[in-house]
Amino acid sequence: RERVITLLKSAHGDENAVEELRRLVIEKGGLDAACSLMDDYMSKARAVPAAYPESPIRHSLDLLCDFVAARNH
């Protein structure tokens, strides 16, 4: 934890710190945990409009969920 805090403080402009943070996040399962959490939120977000009849608005909300899940920044 202390190492991560130190790296975060120095990450701006330090590519080595950024790369080490990236490696730690992947190694410790942070990326998998974030993807799992996103899947849970997407399921909840899709469930709300699913209670309404099929419509262009409902379809647009589904597409919005796809966009949010697929974006990479």
pLDDT in tens, 16-54: 999 999 999 999 999 999 999 999 999 999 999 999 999
Phi, psi of 14 (to 5 degrees): -115, 95
Q: What is the pTM of this model?
A: 0.67
Token output for 54:
């099929």
Task: Give the amino acid at 39.
Answer: D
Where residue 1 falls among pLDDT bands split at 50, 70, 90? Answer: confident
List all residues 6 or more positions away from 68 whose beta carbon is below 8 Å from its beta carbon: 42
pLDDT at 52: 92
